[in-house]
């Protein structure tokens, strides 16, 4: 689970990254925002992964506290919030795409299509720019 206030025993960048976004649910929330277009609590809850409501609420809170997500009121429904990636969150796009490419190579049961893998391999920078543009245009 991310721990935004945690002080590290070492200055290891891998430990820092894992402490910030390195658990299953956090990465799946980022994936859903970045690649599936999910942006509300209900959409994350219904993403098919089976996340518990308390874990989802906790991870969204942590991602907001670490500056990876921005939480704003939905202008069309003031009882609901919209989540979006910040610039810091968008900078995770290359990592997420590389994880997809790696998993497609080594997981025989992956649901990732060959078209997406080819896009990552041939135009990774363009794909990253497209993701970033979706969130900076808001």
Question: Domains in the chain and their CATH numbers?
Answer: 13-136 (1.10.10.10)
Q: Do you know the residue count of the chain?
A: 138
The pTM of this model reads: 0.86
Which stretches of the chain are DSSP H helices?
A: 13-21, 24-31, 41-45, 53-65, 87-90, 93-106, 114-136
118 pLDDT band, cuts 50/70/90, is very high
CA dist., res. 126 & res. 105, Å (int): 21
pLDDT of 7 higher than 80: no
For 62-83, how does the pLDDT look when each residue is reduced to its tens digit (9 = 90+)? Answer: 999 999 999 999 999 999 999 9
Question: Confidence band (pLDDT; 50, 70, 90) for 130?
Answer: very high
For 35-54, the DSSP string reads II---SHHHHHTSSS---HH
Our CA dihedral for 4, 28, 83, 119, rounded to 10 degrees, sits at 120
């Amino acid at each position: 689970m991310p721990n935004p206030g945690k002080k590290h025993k070492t200055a290891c960048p891998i430990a820092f990254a894992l402490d910030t976004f390195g658990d299953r649910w956090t990465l799946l929330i980022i994936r859903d925002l970045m690649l599936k277009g999910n942006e509300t609590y209900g959409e994350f809850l219904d993403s098919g992964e089976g996340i518990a409501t308390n874990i989802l609420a906790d991870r969204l809170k942590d991602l907001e506290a670490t500056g990876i997500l921005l939480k704003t009121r939905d202008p069309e429904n003031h009882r609901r919030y919209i989540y979006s990636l910040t610039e810091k969150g968008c900078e995770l796009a290359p990592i997420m795409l590389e994880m997809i490419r790696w998993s497609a190579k080594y997981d025989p049961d992956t649901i990732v299509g060959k078209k997406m893998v080819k896009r990552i391999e041939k135009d990774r920078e363009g794909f990253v720019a497209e993701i970033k543009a979706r969130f900076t245009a808001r």
